[in-house]
Amino acid sequence: MMHNKWEDTPFKSPMARARGHGSSHSGVHHWIRQKITAAANIPLTLWAVWAALTLGAAGADHAYVVGFFMNPVNAIMMVLFLLSVFYHAALGLQVVIEDYVHHETVKMFSLVGMQLAIFMLTVASVFSVLKLAI
């Protein structure tokens, strides 16, 4: 039977059970990145809502959307929005997986799978905007 590292077994000292559960001094960087992306998401999301309302109010056929994103400011703002939102999502999902998945192998595969999925979605989204803009 496999035991988790924090469980009491006759072969582990209290220090062995505690090791790996303390501060590794990396959480502050993660927390700061989450706060920076959250702050960046406020104006970027307001811009994205404005863009969606603008496109929706105009009837937004394909030619209008292409024209909208051919404006460099709109294309850059959308790419920044996508990068910030996906990075913020990856940081948040990482915390959830690390906190609630207790089996180390499942945790590792979940983190890798989540990061690959976020990366693929980010690349596909940015490619779509660039295809419209160029």
pLDDT tens for residues 15-66?
A: 666 666 555 556 788 999 999 999 999 999 999 999 999 998 878 899 999 9
* pTM tops 0.95, yes or no: no
59 CB neighbour count, 10 Å cutoff:
7
Query: Each residue of 73-125: pLDDT tens digit?
Result: 999 999 999 999 999 999 999 999 999 999 999 999 999 999 999 999 999 99
Domains defined along the chain, listed by start:
25-133 (1.20.1300.10)
Q: Distance between CA 36 and CA 83 in Å, rounded?
A: 13
> Which residue type occupies 115?
Q
Burial code (b: 16+ CB inside 10 Å, e: under 16) for 17-46 equals beeeeeeeeeeeeeeeebeebeebbeebee
Using alpha carbons, list the distances in angstroms from residue 28 to 11, 95, 102, 127. Answer: 33, 13, 22, 32
